[in-house]
Amino acid sequence: MANTDRDDGAAASTSLPESRLGTKAHWDEVYAREVKNFNDFGDEGEVWFGEDSVDRMVRYIQRYLEQRQEEHEEPAASELSVLDLGTGNGHMLFALLEGDAETALSASRMKGVDYSAGSISLAKSIGMRKAAEEQDQSYQEVAFEVLDLLDAKAVDALRNSGSPAGWDLVCDKGTYDAIALSSQLINGALPVDLYLRAVKSLTKAGGIFLITSCNFTEQELTAKFANSKAGFEVKDFVPTAKFSFGGQTGSTTTTISFKRLS
């Protein structure tokens, strides 16, 4: 259960039981299998955390864009840049292309990154098929790139390859969760700390970081991201379906949007 309503004042914990789910080898195997399934059967692969989580994030972004339009904020939606961290099969970015025309994001300003080359191969193949089936080349204009978010030099190169100021919208659905499953130090730093550095670097000042987690509560995510060191403040707690069990109320996932501090 990702989120339990509580106010115990406990500090956020980023230590989860060590798991192979936190290794690149695992995800390379997953996407090698999913690429084969796509080539053999046309199966686009699993949507991590389910369609409801994607729909929730897409609806939130659409409302955010509508508010910007109502308040005549610049730049226009079509000029905003979007980065999907741990993009998998690219499902999140493709879903964002299906919004209302007045608040439509531009495919040419979308990018998905993943450290698994199989993920990127799958996402590109799906984009090509969607472009042909829908007769809409925008699906093929979404950029996908192999990138390890824990490689500081690669992150800096990505940031400098586009807008030096970073991206307007940065999304994560499960990537932080997977990274938190590894405590193996990289050049003396924990993977979660390298991830925090990457997110801060890649999000434009005033931009939005939207995250969905199944392992961390609202309190834990807020304590980790909403501080001067991490570089964010809470913008919105995105409502999720609630259920009760054993006298506690909770949800299977948590979604929060953070605003990048200047």
Q: Token match 């080349």: residue?
A: 137
Query: Is there a contact between 233 and 259 (Cβ–Cβ < 8 Å)?
Result: yes
How many domains does the chain fold into? 1
What is the rounded CA–CA span in Å between residue 213 and residue 165?
A: 26
Q: Domain for residue 135, yes or no?
A: yes
- Amino acid 185: pLDDT: 94
**Is 6 among the domain residues?**
no
Least confident interval from 10-19, 158-167, 193-202, 231-240 = 10-19
In a domain, 224, yes or no: yes
| Domain-embedded: residue 2 | no
- Beta strand residue intervals within the chain, DSSP E: 3-4, 82-85, 110-114, 143-146, 167-173, 203-213, 232-238, 243-245, 248-251, 254-260
Residue pointed to by tokens 């789910």: 21
Rounded distance between C-alpha atoms, residue 229 and residue 2, angstroms: 24
Sheet holding 203-213, edge to edge: 143-146, 110-114, 82-85, 167-173, 203-213, 254-260, 232-238
Residue 126 located in a structural domain: yes
Residue 178 forms part of a structural domain: yes
Residue 162 · residue 81 · CB < 8 Å: yes
The CATH number assigned to the domain holding 52 equals 3.40.50.150
Residue with tokens 């969607």: 130
In a domain, 12, yes or no: no
pLDDT score, position 109: 95
> Could you report the per-residue pLDDT of 120-152, keeping only the tens digit for each?
999 999 999 999 999 999 999 999 999 999 999
Contact 179, 150 (CB under 8 A): yes
Residue 51 in domain: yes
The range of the structural domain enclosing residue 126 comes to: 18-260
Lowest mean pLDDT among 30-34, 40-44, 92-96: 40-44
Please name which of 165, 163, 235, 233 lies closest in space to residue 205, comparing C-alpha atoms: 165
